[in-house]
Amino acid sequence: MKILTCPLNGPRNIAEFTYGGQVKPMPNPSEATDQEWAHYVFYGDNHIGVVREWWMHTPSSYWFIVERHNQTDEVIRTYDPAELFDVGASPAAEPTGADS
């Protein structure tokens, strides 16, 4: 069984987690063109390297961020989203750990 360390709950079986997609900047929904919005919703970078991803610990409904190498599946770090986002601010951040 793979183990992932939740920043709130500690190390847990991977079966307790749900993948939430790549962390990427969201365009302003009221100003983005259809093409920009479609790109945001449907496209990912798909590069090999360290990626920054949303994961949720399902039993506690707690969303957090994982930096993971998508070739070796090595988890570099997990942390609370407050490290990236101001509370109340729109989620928009480039993955600094990605080597794309």
The residue among 88, 96, 89, 70 whose CA lies nearest residue 79 is 96
For 70, counting Cβ atoms within 10 Å of its Cβ (0-12 exposed, 13-18 middle, 19+ buried), the class is middle
DSSP 46-83: --SSEEEEEEEEGGGTEEEEEEEETTT--EEEEE-GGG
CB-nearer residue toward another protein: 14 or 76:
14
Helices (H) and strands (E) in the chain, counts: 1, 6
Q: Which is nearer to another protein, 32 or 56 (CB)?
A: 56
- Closest distance to another protein from the beta carbon of 60 (Å): 4
| Minimum distance of another protein from residue 64's CB (angstroms) | 11
Q: How far is the CB of 70 from another protein (least distance, A)?
A: 25
Residue 89 C-beta: closest distance to another protein, Å:
14
Q: Which is nearer to another protein, 11 or 35 (CB)?
A: 11
Report the interface residues with another protein, using CB under 8 A: 1, 8-9, 12-13, 15-16, 57-60, 62, 87
